[in-house]
Amino acid sequence: MSTPVLSVVVLSWNTQALTLACLGALFAESPRHPREVIVVDNGSHDGSAEAIAAAFPQVRLVRNKDNRLYAAGNNQGVALATGEFVCTLNSDTEVRCGALDRLVDFLREHQTHGAVAPRLSDPDGSVQRACQRFPTLLSALCFDSWWGTFWPGSWVQRRYLMQDFDHLSSRDVDQPPGAVFLMRRAEWNGLGGFDEQLALFYNDVDLCKRLWANGRRIHYLAEAEVMHHRGASTKNFAKMLVIWHKNRLAYYGKHYGWIGRAWVRLCVRLRIREERHKIERRTQGDPGRRQAELDHLQQAVRELWS
């Protein structure tokens, strides 16, 4: 077997059918750039590891006993990589023919760029508008809250989510979709990969932030397409919202210092008050349901501040 140019790392957690489809798409083409595929199964209990081993014996399969979450699992896979380039690929994706070759070609031809990502599409072919600008202190206040529903908060939201970009053309961006992300392995290792303190969320934002801080540009390549089923692994993760808030606090603390962390804690407290108000409004006339939802919220709050 020739030395791989590209190492593809696929992280799998209880997405057996999607992971098999992801691998099927990878091996359905004959790539111009030789590649190796590394699958890290994060303690799945749906038979994913056994099914992968049976259907794709050519992949390098790592079987974790438990879920090490996104950052650590991907770092584990990249540590085994041998290619010049490395691509972290979500298990809920299916690469279109030639997409990864185009990403490798781009980085080989553009030495000033540190990373590149493709256009993501829904199963029906419509484009996913997933690029974002780096989060600011104002976007921390406006995202997923009452403050983002009217101007100027709505403008902050639109700018943060790059709603002014149709995602049909190629351009440099702050943060492309994290579902497919390709960079030089030497540069990944030099940066230390994903920050494992950002276990499930904001690790890709942080990596992009560090690349740009080092003067390395990041490109969104619309000519390369990858189909993406949105959020297949995280949608069933029970503690997702708590971890999201914890990772957001860690990100802002890392990049904005104590002021950023204190500000986001205030934003979270305002969001909790907003959620209590929503519960009280929608459960009028049903005190039993109201108490159950308030208790659930309080439990989440205790976990968040623990």
Domain ranges of the chain: 6-131+167-234, 134-164, 240-305
Give me the pLDDT at residue 1, please.
58
- Scan for tokens 């860690």, then name that residue: 250
pTM of the model: 0.92
- pLDDT value for 15: 92
Other Cβ atoms within 10 Å of 46 Cβ, number: 14
pLDDT, tens digit, 9 for 90 and up, residues 189-212: 999 999 999 999 999 999 999 999
d(CA 261, CA 210): 19
pLDDT at 232: 57
For 249, the token pair is 């606090």
AA letter at 167: H
Pick one of 3.90.550.10, 3.30.200.20, 3.40.50.620, 3.30.1360.120 as the CATH number of 6-131+167-234. 3.90.550.10
Question: What per-residue confidence (pLDDT) applies to 231?
Answer: 63
Q: Which of 177, 149, 161, 147 is nearest to 87 (CA)?
A: 177
Cα–Cα distance for residue pair 280/176, rounded to 1 Å: 38
Residue in the structure block whose two tokens are 């009217």: 150
pLDDT, position 295: 82
Residue 127 tokens, joined: 């484009």
- The DSSP letter of residue 233 is T
Q: What percent of the chain has pLDDT over 70?
A: 97
- pLDDT tens profile 169-195: 999 999 998 999 999 999 999 999 999
Cα(33)–Cα(50) distance, rounded to whole angstroms?
28
Please give the residue that has the higher pLDDT: either 268 or 85.
85
CA–CA dist 212, 198 (Å, integer):
18
For 148-158, the pLDDT digits (tens) are 888 998 999 99
> Residue 283: phi, psi to the nearest 5?
-110, 20
Q: What is the signed CA dihedral for 39, 44, 46, 49, rounded to 10 degrees?
A: 30
Q: Can you give the pLDDT at residue 119?
A: 97
Cis? peptide before 118, omega within 30° of 0: no
What lies within 8 Å, CB to CB, of 38 at 6+ separation is: 7, 8, 9, 10, 59, 60, 62, 77, 80, 81
The span from the CA of 221 to the CA of 68, in Å, is 30
Measured CA to CA, the distance from residue 70 to residue 43 in angstroms comes to 12
pLDDT, tens only, 231-284: 655 554 557 788 999 999 999 999 999 999 999 999 999 988 888 888 888 888
Q: 74 with 216: CB under 8 angstroms?
A: no
Taking phi first (over 0 means left), then psi (-120 to 50 degrees means alpha), and beta for anything else, what does residue 111 get? alpha
Residue 272 is predicted with a pLDDT of 87
Neighbouring C-alpha atoms within 13 Å toward the C-beta of 291: 3
Listed range (39-53, 73-87, 233-247) with the worst mean pLDDT: 233-247
Alpha helix positions (H), 80-202: 99-109, 137-142, 153-160, 185-191
